[in-house]
Amino acid sequence: MTPDTNTTASAVVQRAATAVYVYGVGRHSAGHADHEITGVSGQPAPVRAVEGGELVALVSDVPADWHAASRHDVAAHDRVLAELMRDRAIIPMRFGIVLPSDSAVRERLLVRHAGELAALAQRIEGREQMSVKAYYQDEALLRAVLTHRPELKRRADELERLPVVESQGQRIALGQDVAAAVEEQRALDEQTLVESLSGLADEVRIDPSTSERHLTTIQLLVQRDRRPQLDAAVKRLGQEYAERLALRYVGPLPPYSFCAFALAGEPESWA
């Protein structure tokens, strides 16, 4: 076997021993990483681009038998996306997408889903996802309800003077009225925040509340040049409603809320 043959065989074996982890997809103009970014796995490889028509996938090599499992890998996935998104629009892939080769990335992802991916790339071009989470301060929701509905407090005070057995029905009715008033107040507070911010964003998504204290999470897709206006609006709202709400403002985030890209029929790992 000649030295050239040995080199070729070694390269084939090396490629067969690796798979390709996919972080995201962008337009062809997204190009390669401008500086060294390493990816997931215990032996992280540089992030590189796989081209396919007008699209590119940003990927890195991983061992063929690698399985996404650790928090370190999740953090690495998020870190890579954050680095890539600094100067380009990226459609983020969910954590753990692995394909056997560059050709598989090209054919199964970039070619097969070219139309859907191109539309998503256009949708997020020049835009960022920002997130506003709103939480009630201690007892602030109930205080707001009683301020707007003082008759509920009067009814509660009156019932305190009556025997529980004789006023059971009235107590149940009061509880129902208070619960309804709480939901009305929550809806009003959410509407106030959304209306104050939605004019600065191209698209808005509302995530469901996860607890009694959590009022809402508002996801906003905003043009980069409008970020200063959004930043100022969130700051103003935080100050205006400081006694009632605590706002947590984060981003830019990978635009998952506006890139609902589902690979129907594909397994979690394609390798």
CB 56 within 8 A of CB 89: no
pLDDT at 96 over 50: yes
Could you tell me which residues come within 8 angstroms of residue 164 by beta carbon, excluding any fewer than 6 positions away? 171
Tokens standing for residue 200: 């600065």
Residue 13 has pLDDT above 70, yes or no: no
Phi, psi of 195 (to 5 degrees): -65, -30
Architecture of domain 128-257 in this structure = 2-Layer Sandwich (3.30)
Locate the domains of the chain by residue range: 3-125, 128-257
| Distance separating alpha carbons of residues 267 and 245, to the nearest angstrom | 42
**What's the burial of 265, exposed, middle or buried (CB within 10 Å: 0-12/13-18/19+)?**
exposed
Please tell me whether residue 204 adopts helix, strand or coil conformation: strand
CA-nearest of 231, 224, 223, 213 to 132 is 231
∠ CA 224-235-78, nearest 5°, is 50
Q: What pLDDT is attached to residue 127?
A: 93
Highest average pLDDT, of 42-46, 216-220, 260-264, comes from 216-220
Angle between helices 227-240 and 168-198 (to 10 degrees): 150
Q: Is the pLDDT of residue 12 over 60?
A: no
Across the chain, mean pLDDT equals: 83
What is the structure's pLDDT at 128?
93
Rounded to two decimals, what is the model's pTM?
0.78
Q: In the predicted model, what is the mean pLDDT of residues 4-26?
A: 66
In this predicted structure, the answer to whether residue 202 has a pLDDT above a threshold of 80 is: yes
